Amino acid sequence: MDFRIIKSPSDSTKDILRRRMSGNCKTDLDSADAIGLVQGKLIDMIYASDIAEKAVGVTVEDIRGTCPQHMVLLGIFGDTSSVESAINEIKLKMKEGKMI
């Protein structure tokens, strides 16, 4: 999995994400102080989405892509500390899951 955090995203970055998100997006990008990006296999991304939303007050959206390897990109939206906490929780739970 690959992880990135964008703190104080620019308007152009938010516009790029809006164009790649589905029409039934429930996230208000203008109120997001930070955006976490997580990319990986579908099975891991569904698991990561569940972990993030249960861990802290963030919203998670699927970001459409054109990757031929069937990689999935998630956007995690919220305040900076919540996005950081969500990504740290995903890393921790994924590490625990690999030990089973």
Residue 37 pLDDT greater than 70, yes or no: yes
| Domains defined along the chain, listed by start | 2-98 (3.30.70.1710)
Q: Reduce the secondary structure of 10-74 to three states and give it as a string.
A: CHHHHHHHHHHECCCCCCCHHHCCEEEEEEECHHHHHHHHHHHHHHCCCEEEEECCCCCCCCEEE
Query: pLDDT band at 99, cuts 50/70/90?
Result: low
Rounded to two decimals, what is the model's pTM? 0.89
pLDDT at 73: 92
pLDDT tens-digit series, residues 42-93: 899 999 999 999 999 999 999 987 665 667 899 999 999 999 999 999 999 9
Res. 98: pLDDT tops 60: yes
